[in-house]
Amino acid sequence: MEKNKILSLKNVCKTFPVGKTLLGKPLNFVHAVNNVSFDVYEGETFSIVGESGCGKSTTGRLINHLLIPDSGEIWFQGKEISKISQDEMRPIRRDMQMIFQDPAGSLNPRMRISDLIEEPLLIHTDLDKEERMKIVNELLGIVGLSAKHAQRYPHEFSGGQKQRVGIARALTVNPKLIIADEPISALDVSIQAQVLNLLHNLQEKYNLTYVFISHDLSVVEMISDRIAVMYLGFVAETAPKELLYGNPLHPYTEALLSAVPIPDPDYKKERIILEGDIPSTINLPKGCPFAARCSKCMPECLETRPETKEVEPGHFVACHLYK
Ligand code: SF4
C-alpha cells in the first residue's frame, strides 16, 4: 500500500547571527541546520537523533514554524509552509502540535490544568464552554489523569503528570502531526516508559504521526519506525529502524550505536571512542562535517562534502565510503 507523505523537508538551511560589527551587522553566523531533507509518512514515528547542538531541535522548530528557514522548503499536507505568515500558519498549526522537553516550563504556572488544556480549543474552535470542558475531561482520562486534577495548578503535579498534561494539551484539537522534542528526557527513568507507552497507544488510537527528537538511541529504538541521524546540522544517515540498528553505514552512526548499552551481560561490544574536536558551526569544514573525528577519513573527505545516496531501499547515507 502506498504511504501518504505528510511532511517533507527539502534542502532546509538555518543560520543564526552571532556578534555585531561596529555598523551593527552580524559578525558571524552559526550554521545550525544545513541542507536537511527528509520525508515523513502518515502514522509513523520519524525520529531525529544526535548529540546536543546537532540541529535536531532547531529542525523541529523550523517544522513548527517557530523559526523561519533561510532557504529550502517545508511541505506539510501538500502545502509549502516555510515562508507563510503567522496568520496563514494559525489554521495549519491546529494539525501540527508540539510537546516540549520541559513539562514544567511549557505550562503557565498561574493557570489551572483545565484552563491549560482548554486554551487551544479557545484559539482554534468556536465550541461553547460546556463542549470544551467535556473534551478537557475526556482528555484528562485519555492521558491517565482524572477530572479531579482539572482544578489543580501545575506545581501540584509530578514531572510525569505535567508531561501528561502537555500531551493532553497537544491532543485537544486533533492534530495530525506531533513534534515531540526530547519529551521524556527530563523525567525519572521509571516514568519514561509510561510516557512512551502513552505516546505509542495514542498513536495507534488516533493514527498520529510523530517527529520524535532525542539524543538517546535506546529510547529512539523503542519508539521509531524510521530515524535520521544528525551531525553538525547535517543529516548523516536516514533509515528504517531495523536497517539503522542492524546495518549502520555512516561512521558517526556506528560510533553512536557502539555506546548504547545492551541488556545482556554475555554480549560484549567494542565501544568506538570518537577522537578529535567537533568543528565550529561558524566555520563549517569544506569537506565532510565528520572528517575531523572519523577513523575512516580519506583525502577526498577533506575536500568534498559527501552527497546523500540511497545505498539500499530506504537507507540513505552521506559518506564517501559509499559510491
Ligand atoms: Fe568519514 Fe569520509 Fe565518510 Fe566523512 S565521508 S564519514 S570522513 S569516511
User: Which residues are CB-neighbours of 313 under 8 A, at least 6 positions away?
Assistant: none
Mean pLDDT for 231-259 is 96
34-74 pLDDT, tens digit each:
999 999 999 999 999 999 999 999 999 999 999 999 999 99
Residue recorded with cell 529510547: 219
276-302 pLDDT, tens digit each:
888 899 999 999 999 999 999 999 999
Pocket of ligand 1 (CB under 6 A): 250-251, 288, 290-291, 294, 296-298, 301, 306, 319-321
Q: Output the nine-digit C-alpha cell for 285.
A: 569544514
The residue to mutate among 235, 297, 300, 307, having the most atoms of ligand 1 within 8 angstroms of its beta carbon, is: 297
Question: What top-level class would CATH report for the domain 5-44+53-87+226-261+270-318?
Answer: alpha beta
CA angle 90, 91, 96 (to 5 degrees): 85
Mean pLDDT for 105-119 is 92
| Residue 104 confidence (pLDDT) above 90 | no
How many CB atoms neighbour CB 300 within 10 A? 12
Ligand 1 centroid distance, CA of 2 (Å) = 34
139-185 pLDDT, tens digit each:
999 999 988 899 999 999 998 899 999 999 999 989 999 999 999 88
The pLDDT value given to residue 114 = 95
| Residue 269 confidence (pLDDT) above 80 | no
The residue to mutate among 235, 294, 295, 316, having the most atoms of ligand 1 within 8 angstroms of its beta carbon, is: 294
Q: What are phi and psi of 237, to 5 degrees?
A: -155, 140
| Residue 214 confidence (pLDDT) above 90 | yes
The pLDDT value given to residue 61 = 96
User: Which residues are CB-neighbours of 236 under 8 A, at least 6 positions away?
Assistant: 229, 230, 250, 252, 253, 290, 317, 318, 319
Which residues pair with residue 180 across a beta bridge? 99, 212
The pLDDT value given to residue 272 = 84
Ligand 1 centroid distance, CA of 321 (Å) = 7
Q: What are phi and psi of 236, to 5 degrees?
A: -85, -40
The residue to mutate among 232, 290, 305, having the most atoms of ligand 1 within 8 angstroms of its beta carbon, is: 290
Residue recorded with cell 567494542: 270
| Residue 220 confidence (pLDDT) above 90 | yes
Per-residue confidence at 1, pLDDT binned at 50, 70, 90? low
Mean pLDDT for the chain overall: 92
